[in-house]
Amino acid sequence: MTDSLTIRRPDDWHVHLRDGAMLKGVAHHTARQFARAIVMPNLSPPVTTSAAGAAYRERILAALPEGMAFEPLITCYLTDNLDPEEIARGHGEGVFTAAKLYPAHATTGSAHGVTDIANIYSVLERMQAIDMPLLIHGEVTDHEVDIFDREAVFIERILTKVVRDFPQLRIVFEHITTKDAVDFVRDSGPNIAATITPQHLHINRNAMFAGGIRPHAYCLPVAKREFHRLALREAAVSGNPKYFLGTDSAPHSLSAKESACGCAGIFNAPFALESYALVFEEEGALDRLEGFASIHGPNFYKLPLNEGTVTLRKMATPVPESLDCEGTPVSPFHAGEEIGWRFEG
């Protein structure tokens, strides 16, 4: 029986660190477990220039406790009329690691997103030429499409076309939630990969309605049917380098979640590795956690693997109902449960 697990220090390839007091309240949770993170740009206003990206990186570093080593990797928020030159400059200056496509109004903070993929074709052309990764929130926004079908329809209507038109572009299909996405990524070329969140490995859509409406189980893309969850688990533990860790940790205050119109987003950063370890343990695949958490991501991004290790110990870890994030209470994923692993550093 394994009672501890030591792996190469991991990275989080998709996280929302927010800004201001919330940034100070949440960034240390991510920095404690991960050496680097791809930080989402859906601030208000969004990060769309190299200067704004560089300033945000400084604010993230300043928000961390003294001496905490962490490298934020900044992303550029794509809008309908972004200049390809600005993106290329930001990438060349080492500010932008990647650019993020939010279809307009698909999710929290996406009001400035792209209204028609045709509007960013010149940007994608340029990104392909400079080998800059494109990160995609893959949901159509058409309200005629059932919310549980929006990812599958995005593959069919948009992603297939982008992959065909930009065959060399490196694409990360973010926070995939369906078997359709698992299959699409597996069957595409090596330049197409995906991140998988802990919540989509743990919960299916019933979690949102267990005995009443459960706002803390609501995120976007929304959790799907059980067979999708099982496909995601199989992909995550498969050892296939196309799938890697991206928490999509997305903190919102308790009051913003517990509301007549609650925000989408699950705050999983405080117990992220524990949560993934539980899944890999349940699947009998603890030996594959390191690939998923620490190796596949850097290889896809063409970045060096981290030095050093982290250790998880097998022991009961109670998760509090809420955590204080610089004065704002936020409910963490697994609130009120006991996870069987503890991150030791």
Using CB under 6 A, list all residues that contact ligand NCD.
16, 42, 107-109, 137, 219-220, 248, 250, 264-265
112 binds, among ligand NCD, Zn ion, none (CB under 5 to 8 A by kind): none
Backbone region of residue 334 per phi and psi (left: phi > 0; alpha: psi in -120 to 50; beta: other values): left
Nearer to ligand NCD, 105 or 161 (CB): 105
Token digits of residue 8: 């190469």
**56 in Cβ contact with 38 (< 8 Å):** no
- Distances in whole angstroms, Cα of residue 243 to Cα of each of 221, 261, 293: 17, 32, 9
**Minimal distance, residue 175 CB to Zn ion, in Å:** 6
Nearer to ligand NCD, 126 or 200 (CB): 200
Nearer to ligand NCD, 107 or 128 (CB): 107
Amino acid type, 90: G
**Minimal distance, residue 236 CB to ligand NCD, in Å:** 18
Residue in 105, 94, 8 with CA at minimum distance from that of residue 53 = 94
Query: Distance from CA of residue 120 to its chain's centroid?
Result: 22
Identified catalytic residue from 11, 12, 180, 248: 248
Residue in 326, 308, 312, 296 with CA at minimum distance from that of residue 236 = 296
Mark whether 187 is an active-site residue: no
Instruction: Choose, by CB under 5 A, the member of 12, 139, 151, 248 that binds Zn ion.
Output: 248
Interface with Zn ion, residue 151, by CB under 5 A: no
**Minimal distance, residue 112 CB to ligand NCD, in Å:** 13
245 binds, among Zn ion, ligand NCD, none (CB under 5 to 8 A by kind): none
Query: Distance from CA of residue 211 to its chain's centroid?
Result: 28
- Which residues are known catalytic residues? 248
- Which residues contribute to the site for Zn ion (CB under 5 A)? 248
